[in-house]
Structure 1
Amino acid sequence: MSVSVAGTAGSLVLDAEALYRELLRGVRSLMGANTQLAGVASGGAWLVERLHKDLGLPGTPGVLSSALHRDDFAQRGMASSAQTQLGFDVNGADILVLDDVLYTGRTVRAVLNELYDYGRPGCVRLAVLVDRGGRELPVAAEFAAARVALPASQSLALARTDGGTFQFEVKEA
């Protein structure tokens, strides 16, 4: 995993574009002839949209919303994220779920519940841009472009510029 990760005086700088190129390489290695891509709204959906194009795949990539299956729904309410859109039959499908940051595993649990509302996949795998550790559930990514450690007091989120390039935002919680 050769990526640009630099820390200075307690701050973390991640090159999201370099990590995206590493993710593209990893996703290529995980793709089978019938693999379907689905991104977790919103960062994962941005990634899957670009991956789908860069891989030259036909059709449209899937988007999975975690909103209806979150265990913190009472605190968060209905987020203004995209709704689930799957342009493929889930039953028996080989599905590669993409997300920007894997942290506690709760979002992945929620999107798996959402996915199973649409059918029973044959195989579901996970690839992420960044695995930051801190798991609360037994969830693991089959591929992570980078693994970083952040204190629980910081959040890491993918942002997309108007030109479509990626960058990370690290904020104090």
Structure 2
Amino acid sequence: MSLPQPKQLIASMVEDLAVHTQDNPDIVMVGIHTGGAWIAQQLHQQMKIENELGLLDISFYRDDFSQNGLHPSVKDSQLPNIENKTVILVDDVIMSGRTIRAAMNELFDYGRPEKIILACLLDVGHRELPIQADVVGKKLDCPLSQRIKLSGPDDLTLSIVTL
């Protein structure tokens, strides 16, 4: 399977997000650590969003926390005011939907957004929850035995990891 270049996917996402946000000047972008935060930083810059970029670590909100324990590199979540704002929630790869569910749970602990727009660099299918991205850089068919890994943050690259 040939993987696309993140730079081209991000440019496409900027165009799609502009359509979703054209009549809304009060936007907050929030990236999910780690890959989603890297993508969000680039989107935030290219879209020239005035509100501060938010960063979200969902480690304590995961539904597999009791099974897997605490991830060794928990980061602080840093969110600007999201109350009654349109939040663009950004992740690198959407698969089961569980990461996004955890991220939305955490967002609502910080306030009640008017709307959440989900933007993901890649969609590899295999949903376990009924969660779909509004903006996707690219959809890929990826077998369950493989994962797509985003490396960065300076030069973003995608690679395939076989389990």
TM over 0.5: yes
Structure holding more strand per residue? 1
Which residue of structure 2 lines up, in the alignment, with residue 3 of structure 1? none
Per-residue CA deviations over 1:125-160 (Å, capped at 9, x if unaligned) read 201111111000000111111000101110112111
Aligned-partner SS, 1:169: strand
Residue 21 of structure 1: aligned partner = 11
Task: Give aligned-pair identity as a percent.
Answer: 31
Equivalent pairs counted in the alignment come to 160
- Distance in 2 (CA, whole Å) between partners of 1:59 and 1:65 is 19
Q: Match of 2:86?
A: 94
Q: Cα RMSD between the aligned structures?
A: 1.4
Higher fraction of helix: 2
Cα offset, 1:55, TM superposition:
1.9
Structure-1-length-normalised TM-score: 0.86
Structure 2 CA distance, aligned partners of 1:59 and 1:78?
31
Hey, what's the Cα distance between the residues in 1 that align with 2:14 and 2:74?
A: 24
Gaps of 5+ in 1: 1-6
Query: What amino acid sits opposite 1:63 in the alignment?
Result: L
Q: Give the aligned partner of residue 133 of structure 2.
A: 141
- Code of the residue aligned with 1:135 in structure 2: it is R
SS in 2 for 1:145: strand
| CA distance in 1: counterparts of 2:6 and 2:41, whole angstroms | 16
Amino acid at match of 1:13: L
Contact 2:28–2:51, Cα closer than 8 Å, also in 1? no
Gap regions ≥5 residues in structure 2: none
1:74 and 1:122 mapped to 2: Cα distance?
32
Residues in 1 aligned to 2:109 and 2:61: alpha-carbon distance in whole angstroms = 10
> Which residue does 1:4 correspond to in 2?
none
Other structure's SS at 1:98 match: strand
Check conservation: 1:91, 1:119, Cα contact below 8 A: yes
For the pair 1:121 / 2:121, whether they are aligned, the reply is: no
What is the TM-score when the length of structure 2 is the normalising length?
0.91
